[in-house]
Structure 1
């Protein structure tokens, strides 16, 4: 996937794409501040972004799924306010960007093959 820049080009969502199995790809998203190349949002494990859209200069929304796709959530991040919201099968959460990262990383993969 190509990088997706915010409308004012201060932030971008880049992707670490990896092939898990033959023709099974995970496109892991990273929210990066351009000025200092600092990653503001990045997840562990096998989270993949299906849909990423910038809502304004500092707010991005993305639909994420945990490989192999048995758990999904919608995430909205506002970097100007350092706030994020998560909603989905595992529940809802609101907090700072680091708190949102920690909450998502704490979710357990429902697939016995991909427990960590």
Structure 2
């Protein structure tokens, strides 16, 4: 099951791809997609990260709160696809870089 959350100017969307990982336990895996060419710019595919909140701060900046299933690892992401920049913050550390660098950093937590 997918849910799409569009940027205010309809240039990007966050698709939450939800799947049941265990009986009654669901993961809403986020994907950031540029709509002009349907390219996925950011994903955490391969690791069960689930988005709890998604909020577009402006036309090109999205904020997400995520948690890895199972466990207690969580992160706050700020993604800016128009300039290929992102920041991830956990309880103990923070990292900024390109969208792909931040994706790799999160997957390595």
TM-score normalised by L of structure 2: 0.94
Deviations 1:3-55 (A, max 9, x none): 10000001000011110111100000000000111000000310000000000
Q: Structure 2: how far apart are the matches of 1:90 and 1:98?
A: 21
Where do 5+ consecutive residues of structure 2 fail to align?
Answer: none
Q: SS state of the match for residue 13, structure 1?
A: strand
Of the candidates 96, 99, 105, which is equivalent to residue 98 of structure 2?
Answer: 96
Structure holding more strand per residue: 2
Pairwise CA RMSD of aligned residues?
1.1
CA contact (8 A) 2:3 2:17 kept: no
Where do 5+ consecutive residues of structure 1 fail to align?
Answer: 108-116
CA contact (8 A) 1:11 1:32 kept: yes
Deviations 1:48-83 (A, max 9, x none): 000000000100000000002410010000111111
Q: Structure 2: how far apart are the matches of 1:76 and 1:101?
A: 12
Check if 1:84 corresponds to 2:81: no
Tell me the residue number matched to 2:20.
Answer: 19
- Matched residue count: 107
Of the candidates 48, 61, 64, which is equivalent to residue 62 of structure 1?
Answer: 64
List, as ranges, runs of 4+ consecutive aligned residues in structure 1 with deviation greater than 2 Å. none
Task: After TM superposition, give the deviation of residue 2 of structure 1 in Å.
Answer: 2.1
Tell me the residue number matched to 1:39.
Answer: 40
